[in-house]
Chain A
Amino acid sequence: MELVCPAGNLPALKKAVDEGADAVYFGFQNATNARQFIGLNFNDKRAREGVDYAQSRGCRVFCAINTYPQPSRWSEWTGAVDQAAALGVDALILADMGLLDYAAQTYPDLSRHLSVQGSATSRAALTFYQQQFGIKRAVLPRVLSIAQVEDLAKQSPVELEVFAFGSLCIMAEGRCYLSSYLTDESPNTRGACSPAKAVRWQETDAGLEARLNGVLIDRFLDGEKAGYPTLCKGRFAVGDETYHALEEPVSLSTLDLLPKLQAMGIAAVKIEGRQRSPAYVAQVTQVWRQAIDKARTSAADPAQLQRWAGQLSQLSEGSLTTLGAYHRKWK
């Protein structure tokens, strides 16, 4: 089972490689990837250095070009595919059917992975992408239970990669337009969810307010930890209750499921977090490297599992982790 780690910048990439990632994934500094943040991602020179660093140490490199190009800027996206191919990456992570088509026609020998943004949640959908665009692997959206993942793993025509750790997206990825409804930018259009340009913090008598393009997303009392105001993790009023109507600010962690995922034949586990620091990437990679190696040879002892879980929860939003949709009750 491959450990796939995030590389938001060159220092993070190097940390992931040094700590034992089997593969790293990165994106370019534009709207072509689903994590467009200021000061993040790679220009051509940095990407070249990163690819060399990783590949010379036996670590594979994937390039995420997983937003949806619109006609007026189509060539930026094909340009990103060309650039990634020229860099000699090991695989492209794509979502858009048109771009998958372009990549398959232009670089038939370069592996194509279906991004989580491609929203394939059934064997029919996986077969569709495999037959039409020759994908080799698909990243599953975080909406399936572990039993559903198991069903898919038995029948999938392609390798499966699942999310292991990091921010929890609770909507079917690639089909969530909540962010653009409030701010005009979404993961699909600009590679941004709840973009920083729209965030305003304000101290008021009622507490610290977080606004997204003017809409009050959350209000924090003194001493309450205020996370990044992702709109689906805010507190809203439904009926006469005010609560986290969609989701609490928690992180996904599937450490407990690792042996099961391995037994199912899941090809890779993915760590989310290209927006996180190199130190974060180093720590998470280190824990998961150990956990995967241990799971390969023997059952981890409970004390050790607890230690790893403790280390990971230190790194989680609100210090809370969840199994998310993998766990039926979450739904």
Chain B
Amino acid sequence: MKLSLGPLLYYWKKSEVEAFYEQVSQWPVEIVYLGETVCARRRELKLDDWASIANQLVQAGKQVVLSSQTLIESEGDLKQLMRLVDLAASQGWQVEANDQSALQLLSEAEVPFVSGPAVNIYNPRTLQRLVNLGLQRWCFPVELSRETLADMQQAIAAQGMQVETEVFAYGHLPLAWSSRCFTARYHDLPKDRCGFVCQQYQDGLLMRSQEAQDVFVLNGIQSLSGACCNLADQLPLMQQLQVDVVRLSPQAQSMAEVVSHFDQLRHGWTPLETTIPLHDQLDCNGYWFGRPGMEQVESGR
């Protein structure tokens, strides 16, 4: 079972991003997703900057994947996507398609691709169609349960589909995308002149109920889960289900420890505590058990 580090969802300063990936090159993850997937206005790092980080990670033995933007709204967004596909093709890197525009460009260019969690693959027939177009790995959509995953894995085996399965196992879940920027809205700024206020919130901006319950995390045009998804104790079941890759989503704090914890778990270490004692956030695992995503189900594995 491989570990992947998902795309960085937040807007960090260039120096912070570079410092982060320098550490990543030492971490026990096999696959690293790189690039801006949330907002077209976030250009602290240009495509060339991402390429240079990618090269360093390749040197360190990582497999890199360039991630595409999730919500494509303009011709400008589409051009940026074309540049990303060209770069990946020239370097032999994979691309993570995060919407149907990317599926189209990648299948046209015959560049092998993987799909992110916002591409709705809910059944084997959809998966098979995309495998026929060049899909090599798919990320299981975040709102689906382990039962559906088991059904999908069974279909993949039965139909002999050549495709890897990845599961989002740690981090705030990406739940929605809008054309409106909620961080700019909080600051009473128009999106076009947002002043890049996202940079003030390294792990997004918490949105709570009027009773102070963490509901969602606002991250520009993206809404994330208020609690942090943590499926660490489900790794044995994922192994049984032949899940190929487990995805960890970067957070500003304690990521090295999180990665190390998952790395030890996949190698059979049984911790005394089932939860990761590394962060003071609320955990959630409800989707995995077919429950509301925000819930924390005491699984007893």
Contacts and interface: CB of A to CB of B under 8 A. Distances in A.
A188 B118 CA distance: 12
Nearest to A151: B75
A72 B176 contact: no
B293 A98 contact: no
Contact of A128 (B75, B104, B286): B104
Interface string A155-180: 00000000000000011101111101
Instruction: Provide the main secondary structure of the chain B interface.
Output: mixed
Given A122-B72, A127-B104, A172-B176, A96 B143 contact: no
Contacts of B129: 97-98, 101, 132
B125 A178 contact: no
Interface string A70-103: 1110100000000000000000000111110110
Contacts of B147: 72
Contacts of B143: 177, 180-181, 186, 188-189
Contact of B176 (A151, A177, A325): A177
A121 B122 contact: no
A241 interface: yes
Interface stretch (A212-220, A250-258, A272-280, A297-305): A212-220
Given A70-B144, A70-B151, A181 B120 contact: no
B120 A235 contact: no
A263 interface: no
B10 to A, nearest CB: 16
Contact of B218 (A182, A186, A238): A238
Interface in A186-214: 186, 188-189, 213
Contacts of A171: 176-178, 223
Interface of A: 68-72, 74, 95-99, 101-102, 118-125, 127-129, 131-132, 143-145, 148, 151, 170-172, 174-178, 180-184, 186, 188-189, 213, 215-219, 235-239, 241-242, 245-247, 325, 328-331
Interface of B: 70-75, 77-78, 81, 99-105, 107, 118, 120-130, 133, 141-144, 147-148, 151-152, 155, 173, 175-182, 185-186, 190-192, 205-213, 215-216, 218, 223, 225, 286-287, 290-294
24 contacts: A68-B123, A69-B123, A97-B130, A119-B99, A121-B73, A121-B101, A124-B72, A124-B78, A124-B101, A128-B101, A132-B129, A148-B74, A172-B178, A176-B176, A184-B293, A215-B209, A215-B213, A218-B210, A236-B216, A245-B207, A246-B178, A247-B180, A331-B179, A331-B192
Given A96-B120, A143-B73, A172-B179, 12 more contacts: A70-B144, A102-B125, A143-B71, A172-B178, A175-B176, A177-B173, A178-B223, A182-B294, A184-B291, A189-B143, A330-B180, A331-B181
